[in-house]
Amino acid sequence: MAEQFKRLDRKLVYHGHIVDFYEDTMQVPNGNIVKWDFIKHNGAAAVVPVLDDGRILMVKQYRNALDKEIWEIPAGGLNGQEPFIECSHRELEEETGYHCELEDMEFLISIASTVAFCNERIDVYVAKNLVKTSQHLDEDEFINVKPYTTDELKKMIFSGEIQDAKTIASIMSYINKYECDKHN
């Protein structure tokens, strides 16, 4: 099916700090020529930080697109060609003030966040054996950190308190993978 779609042109409309916005001219299977938006993102990584008691560290920060503070798992954009796991490891300590060894991180899932118009990929890792250090926030970051049980997080998801897609997918994947394993 993909061979029936042909990109005829891609024009940069805006170069931003985090994303680039393009207008694509596409030929679709019936031969029509259409304009589609495309947002290029360099990728991101996220982490589900699990304390020794099983609680998960969540971060609350202001998100401009929603104009409010939201609870989410720690995440951040890749620096250049940085490997996803290294980005996840860096963001863990920067945002939560906890550290772990790279070997204490395990790949969980890869998420395509907004497939209709953006190529952002987020690889998510689980971090265990956490050691308290200190946050290293960027100058524009103001983050609160709080641990929650998985039962509390499920309630927050189903009540609508947690709405961030990467966080919902990651928490539910974590629960399915790790808590289901405990019962089998």
Q: Tell me which residues are annotated as active site.
A: 139
Please, are residues 79 and 96 in contact by the beta-carbon 8 Å criterion?
no
Q: Two tokens at 103?
A: 């070997």
CA angle 166, 170, 171 (to 5 degrees): 120
Distance CA 96, CA 74 (A): 7
Question: Rounded to whole angstroms, what are the CA distances from 82 to 14, 24, 45, 79, 135?
Answer: 24, 28, 10, 5, 21
Distance CA 29, CA 7 (A): 12
Distance CA 160, CA 139 (A): 29
With b for 16 or more beta-carbon neighbours within 10 A and e for fewer, the 38-55 pattern comes to bbebbebbbbbbbeeeeb
CB atoms within 10 A of CB 125: 25
